[in-house]
Chain A
Amino acid sequence: MASIAHELAKNQKEISVSEFFEKNKQILGFDSLTRALITSVKETVDNSLDACEDASILPEILVKIEKMDNTEYKLTEEDNGPGIVKAQVPNVFARLLYGSRFHTRAQRRGQQGIGVSAVVMYSQLTTGKAATVRSKISDEDTAYECDLILDTKKNRPERLREDRVIWDREHGTSIQVHLKGKYMGGKQSVFEYLKGTAIVNPHAKITFVPPEGVPIVFERASDQVPPPTKPVMPHPEGVELGELLSMAKYTESLKMTSFLSSEFSRISNRVAKEVCELAGVPPEQRPTKLTLEQAGAVLEAMKKVRIMAPETDCLSPIGETLIRKGLKNVLGDVKAEFYAPPITREPKVFAGNPFIVEVGIVYGGELSKEEPVQILRFANRVPLMYQQGACATTQAIENVDWRRYGLEQRGGHGIPFGPAIIMVHLASTKIPFTSESKEAVANIPEIKEEIELALKACARRLKTHLNKAEKKSKAKVKFEIVQDIIPMIAEKSAKIVGKPVPELSGTITKIMNVVWIDDEVSYEKKRHHVLVRIYNYTPKSQGFHLHMVVPFDKIDPKSLELQPLEVRDGNKVTWDIKRVSSTEEFQLKFDLTGLSQEEYGENEVYVSGIDAASVIGVDVLPGDWDLEHLKITGELPVDEGAAAEEGEEEDVDYDEGAEVIKDEE
């Protein structure tokens, strides 16, 4: 971003801002009519969300697009944010690169002050019309309204009209612009942009009024405003030469040491002195006098001096619960079979910038089985709509061997096929984009690796679910055999030979020869009812240990009949199932209280002390139970159980030979 700033600063005297805009249309996201409209929505909505978050307000946002003529649209965007004081309105909306986010770093949607002013600029250049801005702050009775244009020669705002108006809301800001654009549906559209925004901002209520058709409301799925993000100074590790020079030029500090210690994170006075000494720069020197050679020496010195890793508490990930809520809320109409519990990784650092990767997967339902999976990319809670192929996120998805996790993928590389939506969110104080148009995350090894690990961890949860579903359907087939078909065969054969119907338990236990465990969870009246049924369909009585991942402190003690043998880490609960006789059933029941429905969606049940092949419905205890199961991110072993099961058949199956015996075509 800094490079634009420099270019602009340099060129301001020589060329007009409009010329600069014209030259950089693509970078700014106004290179096509369709994109111009999306970008305008994006910039205004990003601003509104940032403003609400700063003020800890639950955002309510309205986006309205009206068609004026063939290519001219009127865009109205309104929020319930804190409002902007009168004096700042013109600068915020009609001055390029105005903003305070330049040298400090924080996880923000807008990363520099080019956004909303560019919209005003574009509007003015394409339609010649001024933007109308209205803003009200809570301690004023009326709202301030003005028509703004940008003086393209001086990069200064110009007010055409100003007024105080009655506005029946407590606080908020609205902007109205006329612009040339093209409204379209499809993958890259205003609707998809807002849909994505709603997924990653479950605390926002977004109303969209399209040019034709009915308004669409993305309801709020959570009442928690994300905590405001703390701005941090750049960490020395990631600073580039040009950046250091520019910081030194604009700093208010008078001495090198105070410059270093006040404008970088993790540099104390003592460390600053050390750096200056090592670089051979006088600690008392004015930073504005820093030469190119000195700057290089300072950078080298900062690499040698021991500096603590950057702070990571400046990041605000969405979090596993809210990702799931957001996905469910917005994607409800696909009636997904499974929302894999999302993954929020621990913060990591690239080039001095802390970042966090989050991944969620939606599977099944009405999603197409034959098409490539849908990819939803987000950076600092902003949907990325363009340049999917160039994005590190996409590349990380392509690198994972999805065949291990139940999706189809030719050759184990590339975008997988199957009924799934994969969501990736990257939060950072500085998102490294491939270009200034901010649409694709650059291929930074640290980031790509984190994304891959997060994808694998989430995919593992998907696979667990798929395994379970597959085992259940296998169990269902066996049940059909023993419950329906065998009794009918018995009855028919008895009738034909004229004898009484034989007793079938021997045959049934031989066919099943398993302990079948079926679990369910239902939610009503703020209680989760958990039921685990254990059927012994083996010829012998069986005993084993049953394990569940369940928050033990949330179990209502009165509802729990069988006391657990052991509770580890507060949520790994083990019961001793002592003895279930052949053809008998045992039930383990309990209720959970004090959890929202989303917080406990699916049981995680395991068994141990019994042969894996003789249990269906649940998995045997994974080897990493003791290593904190949820953090495991390694590759899953290829499931060989199925093959072994088929192999035990001693006879050739008459009905399942693949060979076609007919002589016809």
Chain B
Amino acid sequence: MSRVVSVVSVLCVLASCASKPSQFEPKLSSDSSLSLNHNLEVMVEEGFPVFLGLPEEPGSQGQIGYVGYPGDSAEVFLAAVIVHGLLETGRQLSVESLKQEAANSILVPYENQIKSIYEAIGEKYLAQPGVVTSDTTKPTTVVSHRMAKFRLRLRPMIFMTHDERQLLLVSEAEITDGTNVRYRNIIEILSAPISQESQDMNPVNTWLEDDGKLFQSTVLSIFEQGVRLALMDAQGSFSAEAEHETFSFLQGGRVHFERAVLVGETKEHVIIRTLRKRIKAIPAT
């Protein structure tokens, strides 16, 4: 009996380690003194924005399935479990890495436009332009060009959906007063899908038409909206209490769902607060 108890204990530990809690903890505020004036400077951390391809997510593909383990004894079961766990973890990591690499390849045609965007953002928010990279793990350094009472630091990541018809901004935003964090959250903005006159039409041509005007203006637009939404959230503009609803929106050609509270609307976007307290702007139609 004690052997069974010990096996169950080990298995429980293994099973509970399968997913770690997320690290990011939002800190919300409703401070109206936080506004885009001489009191507050906005800056993008060095190395950002990062441009990435958004791999096709499984979304609704969870399926009820069964896999059997061999073994006539607790020891054999345990050995099979550990080996499976190790193999599965390694396999998942390598599959994820390959999927991300493949997803990033869709950004190759946009290299020149991305460089221009770095210059445009860099002139305003960075001391020196960042570098096009898919490496989000490298250490970042804050580049400051003036002193202010409050500082809004952004770590924007811009994803292109796998169908190449939408851009998604995911940006960490943090406001500090020099010593303390006053506000911290993640802002997500999903652009509306670009129009497709025919199924054969290559989205790259649409984005890059007219020297990449649409690509650049969309990136800069969602970036600027991200700054604005972060500030509005920090000021408490999105603190309205409302019932949770399930919102649906098209992302990468597939319908996604998000349980959230409606906190605002613009002509282009519906603004919601997700269950993780993030601010998310989804296309209005």
Q: Do A and B come from one complex?
A: no
Which residues of B pack against A, CB within 8 Å?
none
Q: A: which residues have CB within 8 A of B?
A: none
